[in-house]
């Protein structure tokens, strides 16, 4: 009898310990961003800090990556909980476009929010003589990491303008900061960068030399034939020496999560972001374009149920 009672007590204690361990399990949130010189990284750092202090038991981390395409593949393989990505890459991932870096459809990805637009910013040293897209023929240009969101944007824009990489004197696949250093050293003529306005690397370049800001005309944007590409202007005075608005194309950035992330965590990630927009704005000015009213609209993938709950609460869905 005593032995039976003792075994029962041991079993009860073990069950209590197990249940306590489950309750106390931390919530891991790895934020997949981009290169450290881009916009994704500082915004991702700010979000990780917000989640670390706002979600009980959260263990947050930030991972610098090659951005959109790598982020979505890492997310789908369970190696992250939140990812930044361009809208066209999200659409390609959902549909499994192999040429875009997605051999099979990633049907486990879910949207948290449409955040701010990325502007295609094509800048060249003034001494290169480049003023238009046509002038890029025979010149040396950097288009971002291979099959990154930026590089896929470059392909789409050049194709719509009747150009290809074969028309260029040289095509380099370099991150933003490295591209700028090559232009400073006269080893590169131009760089195409897809990012929020006020991109740090372009600000740096504009402060050290005279630049030409290359337009992407509205008729070229129309020929791309993808609704996630929108004609927009880079407002004058965004960068030193930029005296006029520059017509270009913009693509919405999307915060993406996985269906494997529980509803409560996705809800809190969405809620805390919108409740801390002033804090996010301190990380980068591009985040000033984040609006709860439009964040759940025109998304190429389904919302996570946790995010959907938040938008319903605030009347944005």
Contact between residue 228 and residue 87 where contact means Cβ atoms under 8 Å apart: yes
Residue 6 has what pLDDT? 54
Stretch among 8-17, 136-145, 218-227, 244-253 having the lowest mean pLDDT: 8-17
Nearest to 258 by CA among 32, 61, 23: 32
Under 8 Å CB-to-CB from 148, ≥6 apart: which residues? 66, 67, 68, 69, 70
Mean pLDDT of 130-157: 93
Q: Are residues 123 and 202 in the same domain?
A: yes
Q: Are residues 212 and 165 in the same domain?
A: yes
What confidence tens digit (pLDDT) does each residue in 172-210 have?
999 899 999 999 999 999 999 998 888 889 999 999 999
Q: What's the distance, Cα to Cα, between the start and end of the chain in Å? A: 62
- Read off the pLDDT band of 94 (50, 70, 90): very high
Stretch among 133-137, 224-228, 282-286 having the lowest mean pLDDT: 224-228
* Domain count across the chain: 2
Under 8 Å CB-to-CB from 306, ≥6 apart: which residues? 261, 262, 263, 264, 265, 266, 267, 268, 269, 270
Residue 2 has what pLDDT? 52
Q: Is residue 97 part of a domain?
A: yes
Contact between residue 89 and residue 252 where contact means Cβ atoms under 8 Å apart: no
Q: Are residues 147 and 215 in the same domain?
A: yes
Residue 4 has what pLDDT? 52
Q: Would strands 229-234 and 58-63 be described as parallel, antiparallel, or unpaired? A: unpaired
Mean pLDDT of 240-253: 96
Q: Is residue 13 part of a domain?
A: no
Q: Are residues 68 and 124 in the same domain?
A: no
Q: Is residue 23 part of a domain?
A: no
- pLDDT for 251 beyond 80: yes
The CATH number covering residue 90 comes to: 3.40.190.10
Q: Is residue 102 part of a domain?
A: yes
Tell the burial category of 193 from Cβ atoms under 10 Å away from its Cβ (0-12, 13-18, 19+).
buried
Q: Is residue 244 part of a domain?
A: yes
Q: Give the SS3 label for residue 159.
A: helix
Q: Are residues 233 and 125 in the same domain?
A: yes
Q: Is residue 247 part of a domain?
A: yes
**Dihedral Cα 310, 313, 316, 317, nearest 10 deg:** 80
Q: Are residues 185 and 305 in the same domain?
A: no
Q: Across all residues in the chain, what is the average pLDDT?
A: 92
Q: Are residues 158 and 211 in the same domain?
A: yes
Q: Which of 232, 251, 270 is the last residue of a domain?
A: 251
CA contacts within 13 A on the Cβ side of 271: 16
Q: Are residues 112 and 124 in the same domain?
A: no
Residue 24 has what pLDDT? 52
Q: Are residues 133 and 86 in the same domain?
A: no
In the chain, DSSP assigns E strands to: 27-32, 58-63, 82-86, 109-125, 140-142, 170-172, 190-195, 211-214, 229-234, 246-258
Q: Which domain, by its residues, includes 198?
A: 118-251
Q: Is residue 211 part of a domain?
A: yes
Q: Which of 251, 273, 290 is the last residue of a domain?
A: 251
The total number of residues written for the chain in this structure: 317
- pLDDT for 298 beyond 90: no
Q: Is residue 198 part of a domain?
A: yes
- pLDDT for 13 beyond 70: no
Q: Are residues 203 and 290 in the same domain?
A: no
Stretch among 10-14, 169-173, 228-232, 291-295 having the lowest mean pLDDT: 10-14
Q: How many helices (H) and strands (E) would you count in the chain?
A: 11, 10
Mean pLDDT of 260-278: 98
Angle at 121 between CA 136 and CA 156, to 5 degrees: 65
Percentage of residues in the chain with pLDDT exceeding 70?
92
Q: Are residues 303 and 183 in the same domain?
A: no
Q: Which of 206, 231, 251 is the last residue of a domain?
A: 251
Stretch among 79-83, 150-154, 243-247 having the lowest mean pLDDT: 150-154
Nearest to 74 by CA among 40, 106, 48, 49: 106
Q: Rounded to whole angstroms, what are the CA distances from 196 to 22, 74, 171, 288, 315?
A: 41, 23, 23, 10, 27
Q: Rounded to whole angstroms, what are the CA distances from 46 to 114, 175, 197, 251?
A: 17, 22, 18, 22
Q: Are residues 209 and 298 in the same domain?
A: no
């Amino acid at each position: 009898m005593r032995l039976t009672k003792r075994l029962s007590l041991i079993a009860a204690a073990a069950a209590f310990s197990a249940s306590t361990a489950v309750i106390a399990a931390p919530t891991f949130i790895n934020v997949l961003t981009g290169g450290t010189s881009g916009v994704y990284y500082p915004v991702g750092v700010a979000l990780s800090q917000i989640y670390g202090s706002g979600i009980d038991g959260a263990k947050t981390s930030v991972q610098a990556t090659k951005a959109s395409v790598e982020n979505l593949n890492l997310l789908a393989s369970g190696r992250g909980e939140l990812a930044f990505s361009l809208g066209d890459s999200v659409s390609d991932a959902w549909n499994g476009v192999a040429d875009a870096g997605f051999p099979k459809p990633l049907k486990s990805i879910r949207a948290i929010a449409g955040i701010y637009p990325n502007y295609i910013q094509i800048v060249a040293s003034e001494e290169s003589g480049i003023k238009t897209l046509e002038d890029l023929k025979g010149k040396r240009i950097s288009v971002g990491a291979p099959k990154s969101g930026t590089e896929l944007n470059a392909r789409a824009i050049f194709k719509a303008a009747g150009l290809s990489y074969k028309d260029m004197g040289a095509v380099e696949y370099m991150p933003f900061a490295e591209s700028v250093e090559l232009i400073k050293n006269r080893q590169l003529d131009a760089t195409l960068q897809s990012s929020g306005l006020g991109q740090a690397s372009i600000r740096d370049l504009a402060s050290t030399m005279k630049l030409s800001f290359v337009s992407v005309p509205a008729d070229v944007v129309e020929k791309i034939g993808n609704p996630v590409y929108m004609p927009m202007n880079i407002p004058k005075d965004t960068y030193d020496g930029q005296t006029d608005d520059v017509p270009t194309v913009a693509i919405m950035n999307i915060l993406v999560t996985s269906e494997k992330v529980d509803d409560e965590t996705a809800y809190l990630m969405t809620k805390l972001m919108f409740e801390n927009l002033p804090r996010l704005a301190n990380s980068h000015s591009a985040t000033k374009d984040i609006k709860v009213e439009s964040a759940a609209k025109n998304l190429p993938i389904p919302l996570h149920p946790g995010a959907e709950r938040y938008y319903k609460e605030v009347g944005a869905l």
